[in-house]
Amino acid sequence: MAAGKKYVDVNVFVYWLGNHPTLGKIAKEWIRDVERSAKGSYVTSSLTVYEVLIVMSGLTGNSLENKRFVEKVLEAIFGLRGLEISPIIKSDFTSALEYMGKYGLDLEDALHLTVALREKAVEIVSNDKDFDKTPLRRIF
Walking along the chain (140 residues) 10 residues at a time, the average pLDDT comes out as 82 97 96 94 98 97 97 97 97 98 98 97 97 96
R_g of the chain, CA atoms, integer Å: 14
d(CA 135, CA 114): 11
How far, in Å, are 18, 26, 85, 126 from residue 59 at the CA level?
A: 8, 19, 23, 19
3-37 pLDDT tens trace: 689 999 999 999 999 999 999 999 999 999 999 99
pLDDT at 4: 84
At 1 the pLDDT is 39
> Which pLDDT does position 2 carry in this prediction?
45
Q: Go through the domains of the chain in sequence order and give each one's CATH number.
A: 5-127 (3.40.50.1010)
Check if the beta carbon of residue 127 is closer than 8 Å to that of residue 140: yes
Closest CA to 72 of 55, 58, 53, 50: 53
